[in-house]
């Protein structure tokens, strides 16, 4: 699931793999500073940097961050391996990358997979179409060897994009998406990457976790097969998944300064690494923006003077009896030295079959504050303050 800003416990066992991620600034700034983005990507090492331990399956690769909003890391596909930057997305379940057959402008700005150069590629010739909050892709299915750090999956089915919408998917610095939600969201007849890691015992525990850094000096990380507790403070609080499709949990309230601003009768929240913002029903987000920003600038309700940050209220989210504060310096992002952007967005009313009339998406704004663990073995999410 993609809502991007348009201005984006000890290791459990022997098999723990960490993949450092990178993050980038808000999309509108990236578009405005396209040359800066291109220079940044040119400067980054694109080869996998592996660190192996004979007793622990540990793999990490380091990428510098490009500021704020989108997190992505490196995988390889094929034999010999072709490298791609992908968004590790808990809000979807499919893996796809652009294909050499894709001629749309969105594909031409990214690395494209060439099946002819892989000796292990198998075409499946099934047409697919995937729709995200940030755009669509159309293509076909194939299968090949996928590698994430030192984790290897043979015969993994994935999508080869042959047509992508312009806009966000064109401007993002990653090539494709690797979905980490439940298999019920995946293309019918396919098995998601994480399920193959789990089912084929490539990892020893059916868990993965994210540390999304809010500071450039800290490396953001996704880890598979275990949890490194040095990335969080205090005890993990476990929350049961309410519906095994998205990583969806029950939320009981949302307040600011003691006033209920959402979830007044309980609601559902989707924990989504692939979404930049806090996303909710449009009418409630409109009211929150009016509360936060009674005097918008530039005729935009999401824009305000950065001088106002210190006077803004903290958002309090109550999930499974625990209150998770989100202070204004996390839900506000700097657009320039004086102009700031409020990281709330409407639109969840379009989501169907979530078993609720009110849904919120807790994206990277929330996940930079809270280290998150996704436990498929027990269908639960663990949250703790990020270190």
Across-strand partners of 129? 138
Residue 34 lies in a domain: no
Is residue 90 a part of any domain in this protein?
Answer: yes
Tally of CB atoms within 10 A around 30: 26
Mark whether 111 and 151 lie in a shared domain. Answer: yes
Same domain, 166 and 260: no
Total domains in the fold of the chain: 2
Answer whether the bond into residue 80 is a cis peptide, omega within 30°. yes
Q: What is the DSSP string of 19-50?
A: EEEEEE--HHHHHHTHHHHHHHHHHS--S---
Q: How far apart are CA 129 and CA 361, in angstroms?
A: 23
Q: Does any domain span residue 221?
A: no
Q: Is residue 209 part of a domain?
A: no
Residues in the chain: 387
Question: Can you give 94-145 as a three-state secondary structure string?
Answer: CEEEEECCCCCHHHHCCCCECHHHCCCCEEEEEEEEEEECCEEEEEEEEEEE
Whether residues 66 and 111 fall in one domain: yes
Task: Flag whether 40 is in a domain.
Answer: no
E strand or H helix at 169:
helix 168-171
Instruction: Indicate whether 194 and 296 sit together in one domain.
Output: no
What one-character DSSP code corresponds to residue 51? -
Q: What single string gives the DSSP state of each residue in 57-69?
A: B--------BSSS
Please, are residues 202 and 59 in contact by the beta-carbon 8 Å criterion? no
> 70 with 107, same domain?
yes
**What was the pLDDT predicted at 18?**
59
Q: What is the pLDDT of residue 32?
A: 41
Residue range 286-345, pLDDT digits in tens:
999 999 999 899 889 999 999 999 999 999 999 999 999 999 999 999 888 899 999 999
Burial class (CB in 10 A: 0-12, 13-18, 19+), 6: middle
Planar angle of CA 213, 236, 62, nearest 5 degrees: 30
User: In the prediction, which pLDDT does 52 show?
Assistant: 36
Per-residue pLDDT of the chain (387 residues; tens, 9 = 90+): 555 553 432 222 334 565 666 554 344 443 343 444 444 444 443 333 333 333 345 444 443 455 567 889 999 999 999 999 999 999 999 999 999 999 898 898 899 999 999 999 999 989 999 988 778 899 999 999 999 988 999 999 999 999 998 778 888 889 999 999 999 999 999 999 999 999 999 998 899 999 998 876 788 899 999 888 999 999 999 999 999 999 999 999 999 999 999 999 999 999 999 998 999 999 999 999 999 999 899 889 999 999 999 999 999 999 999 999 999 999 999 888 899 999 999 999 988 777 788 999 999 999 999 999 999 999 999 999 999
**pLDDT for 62:** 46
241 shares a domain with 190: no
State residue 105 phi and psi, 5-degree precision: -55, -35
Q: What is the model's pLDDT at position 70?
A: 81
- The CATH number assigned to the domain holding 336 equals 2.40.70.10
Q: Does any domain span residue 11?
A: no
Beta bridge partners of 44: none
Residues 352, 233 share a domain: yes
Q: Which letter does DSSP use for residue 364 in this model?
A: H
* CA dist., res. 169 & res. 109, Å (int): 10
Do residue 333 and residue 187 come from a single domain? no
Question: How far is 375 from 198, CA to CA, in rounded Å?
Answer: 11
Buried/exposed 224-233: b ≥16 CB within 10 Å, e otherwise: bbbbbbebbe
- Same domain flag for 68 and 181: yes
Q: Which of 200, 218, 251 is the last residue of a domain?
A: 200
Domain range for 333: 228-385
Catalytic (active-site) positions: 89, 272
Whether 2 maps to a domain, the answer reads no
Do 309 and 179 reside in the same domain of the chain? no
Closest CA to 311 of 257, 355, 359: 257
172 and 236: one domain? no
Q: What is the rounded distance in angstroms from the CA atom of residue 66 to the CA atom of residue 359?
A: 30
Contact 147, 16 (CB under 8 A): no
DSSP letter at 217 equals: T
Domain assignment of residue 342, yes or no: yes
Q: 271 with 157, same domain? A: no
């Amino acid at each position: 699931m993609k809502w991007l800003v348009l201005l984006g416990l000890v290791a459990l066992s022997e098999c723990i793999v960490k993949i450092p991620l990178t993050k980038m600034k808000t999309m509108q700034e990236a578009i405005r500073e396209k040359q800066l983005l291109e220079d940044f990507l040119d400067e980054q090492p694109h080869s996998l940097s592996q660190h192996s331990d004979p007793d622990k399956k540990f793999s990490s690769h380091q990428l510098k961050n490009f500021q704020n909003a989108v997190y992505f890391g490196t995988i390889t596909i094929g034999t010999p391996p072709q490298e791609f930057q992908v968004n590790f997305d808990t809000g979807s379940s499919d893996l796809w990358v652009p294909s050499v057959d894709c001629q749309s402008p969105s594909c031409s700005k990214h690395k494209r997979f060439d099946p002819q150069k892989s000796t292990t590629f198998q075409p499946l010739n099934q047409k697919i179409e995937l729709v995200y909050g940030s755009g669509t892709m159309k293509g076909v299915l194939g299968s090949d060897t996928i590698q994430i750090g030192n984790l290897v999956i043979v015969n993994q089915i994935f999508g080869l994009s042959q047509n992508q919408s312009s806009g966000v998917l064109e401007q993002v610095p990653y090539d494709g998406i690797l979905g980490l939600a439940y298999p019920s969201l995946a293309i019918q007849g396919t098995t998601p990457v994480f399920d193959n890691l789990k089912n084929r015992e490539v990892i020893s525990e059916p868990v993965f976790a994210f540390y999304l850094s809010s500071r450039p000096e800290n490396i953001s990380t996704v880890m598979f097969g275990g949890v490194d507790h040095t990335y969080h403070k205090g005890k993990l609080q476990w929350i049961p998944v309410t519906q095994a499709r998205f990583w969806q949990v029950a939320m009981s309230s949302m307040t600011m300064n003691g006033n209920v601003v959402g979830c007044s009768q309980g609601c559902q929240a989707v924990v989504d690494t692939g979404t930049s913002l806090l996303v909710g029903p449009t009418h409630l987000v409109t009211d929150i923006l009016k509360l936060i920003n009674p005097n918008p600038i530039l005729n935009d309700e999401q824009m305000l003077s950065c001088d106002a940050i210190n006077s803004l209220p903290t958002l309090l989210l109550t999930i499974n009896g625990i209150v998770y504060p989100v202070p204004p310096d996390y839900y506000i992002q700097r657009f320039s030295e004086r102009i700031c952007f409020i990281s709330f967005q409407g639109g969840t009313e379009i989501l169907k079959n979530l078993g609720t009339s009110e849904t919120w998406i807790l994206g990277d704004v929330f996940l930079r504050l809270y280290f998150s663990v996704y436990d498929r073995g027990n269908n639960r999410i663990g949250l703790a303050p990020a270190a």
